Amino acid sequence: MGLTFVKVKVGNPANGHRSEEVQCLVDSGAVYSLVPEPVLQRLEIEPHSTREFVLANGEVIHRRLATATFEYEGRRGDSMVIVGEPGDDPLLGATTLEGFGLVLDPFRRELRPMQLPLKQSRRGTAVVDRW
């Protein structure tokens, strides 16, 4: 197994004409995607909140969050994004991947469509199956 990188287009959800291509490491173990602050600044994307994160060594850090639009191979959606600080590498995290309906195939090192379970209740309304 190895590392998987993909190029995604990151954009400002408030201005569909502003976007920039970013090469990201696919990290399906990360909850949120991470985009360097200079990219978000160029796109005029402002942070809206702060969250606490725990690093692999147990250290607790606080990072700002924003919302960005992501596009990959014709799939598009808005997602929470960590505002990257100096030394942070761009990541494509699980919530963005799930929003795309994609999953990482670690053996082929590629993104593949995921099965999205949906079943109907007795009343004929759709219900998302909870694993």
Average pLDDT across the chain, whole number? 87
What pLDDT shows up at residue 48? 96
pLDDT digits (tens, 9 = 90+) for 78-128: 999 999 999 999 999 999 988 888 877 777 777 777 776 666 666 666 555
Please tell me the distance from the alpha carbon of residue 4 to that of residue 27, in angstroms, as a whole number: 8
Looking at the 3D structure of the chain, how many domains does it have? 1
Above pLDDT 70, what percent of the chain? 86
Characterize the bridge pairing of strands 49-54 and 60-72.
antiparallel
Structure tokens at 122: 């007795």
pLDDT digits (tens, 9 = 90+) for 62-75: 999 999 999 998 88
Residue found by looking up tokens 């796109």 in the block? 43
Check pLDDT > 70 for residue 129: no
pTM: 0.81
What is the distance of C-alpha 76 from the center of its chain? 11
The CATH number of whichever domain residue 114 belongs to comes to 2.40.70.10
Structure tokens at 59: 């250290």
Give ∠ CA 105-107-111 in degrees, rounded to 5. Answer: 25
What pLDDT shows up at residue 117? 66
**Structural domain span for residue 33:** 5-128
Q: What is the mean pLDDT of residues 45-72?
A: 95
